[in-house]
Amino acid sequence: MVSGTVKVDIEGHVAIMTVSRPEKLNALDLDMLRALSEAADAVEANAEVRVAILTGEGKGFSAGGDIRAWGGMRPEEFGHAWVRHGHRIFERLATLRVPLVAALNGHALGGGLELAGVADIRIAEEHIKIGLPETGLGMVPGWSGTQRLVKRFGAQLVRRMALGGEVFSAEEAKLLGIVDAVTATGNSVAAAKDYAARIAARGPAALEVVKLMIASANGEDNGTAVEALGSILAAKTGDLKEGVASFTEKRPAQFKGEW
C-alpha cells in the first residue's frame, strides 16, 4: 500500500513505513506530513500488525523539514501550518498502539532526529550522524526536539546538540543512549526486521499496555495513557456489557461489579 510519499508494506505481523522522497534525502514537506499521518492510521487500523518499522528510501532516513517548504512562510503560518501540524503528526507516530522501531539508514539531523525520536527502538547504520543543527540557522527545534527528546535522551544531551551544535556518530549515539544498536551500512532495515520479530513474538495486548505504562512513567502524555489504560480495562468488564445492553433494551442497568 502506498500513502502519498510514505509507503506502507505489511509482512506478517510487521508494518514497514518507508518515507519516500529519496531525491531530497526524504526531507519532509506538508504532503509528506499528511502521508505520515495516513500511514499511522493504516497501521493502527490493521489488527494483524503487532509492531511497525519506520525507515527512509534510498541513502537517507530523513533530512528533516524541507527548508523550501517552510522558509517562505509568514510567522503565523509557520507556527500553525508547519510547527503545530508537524507536532501533531509526530505525536501520532509516538503514540501508535504498537511498538515502533526506527531503522536509521541515513543521517538523522534536526527534524530527522525528531522523527527518529518518536520510535521506541532505534537501530542506526554505522556511517550516520545525529544532531540538532537548527540554531545554526537561527531556528529552534519545533517537532518535540526540546520536549520528547529531553524526556527520552536527557536534557544535557539535547543541550549539547541544540546549544553547542555537537553532532554524534552512530557509535557515540549508542554510548549516549540515543540509539539502541549500530549495524553495518545497508543493514538497518534487516536488523530492524529481526528486532521486530522479537517484539511480535510477545503478547500483543501486553505490548500495547506496557508501551502506555512506560510512556506514563516517562511523563509523556500522561492523560492519554491513563485514560487509554482505564478504558481498555473497563471495556473488558461485565458491567460494560450490562450497561450497553440496558441502554439498548431501555431498562435500568443491573450492575454486578463483574471484571
* Long-range interactions of 83-89: CB distance < 8 A, separation 24+: 83/142, 83/143, 85/30, 85/33, 86/28, 86/33, 86/111, 86/142, 86/143, 87/142, 87/143, 87/144, 88/37, 89/33, 89/34, 89/36, 89/37, 89/40
Q: Which segments within 39-157 are labelled E, that is strand?
A: 51-56, 100-104, 108-109, 121-125, 129-131
Q: Which of 125, 134, 208, 220 is catalytic?
A: 134
Q: Which three cell numbers stand for residue 256?
A: 454486578
**134 catalytic residue (yes or no):** yes
Q: Which of 114, 125, 208, 220 is catalytic?
A: 114
The owner of cell 510477545 is 202
From residue 163, alpha-carbon distances to 1, 89, 133, 135, 172 in Å are: 40, 25, 9, 7, 18
231, exposed or middle or buried, with CB in 10 Å at 0-12, 13-18, 19+? exposed
Distance CA 253, CA 199 (A): 41
Q: Which three cell numbers stand for residue 128?
A: 550516520
Active centre residues (catalytic) = 114, 134
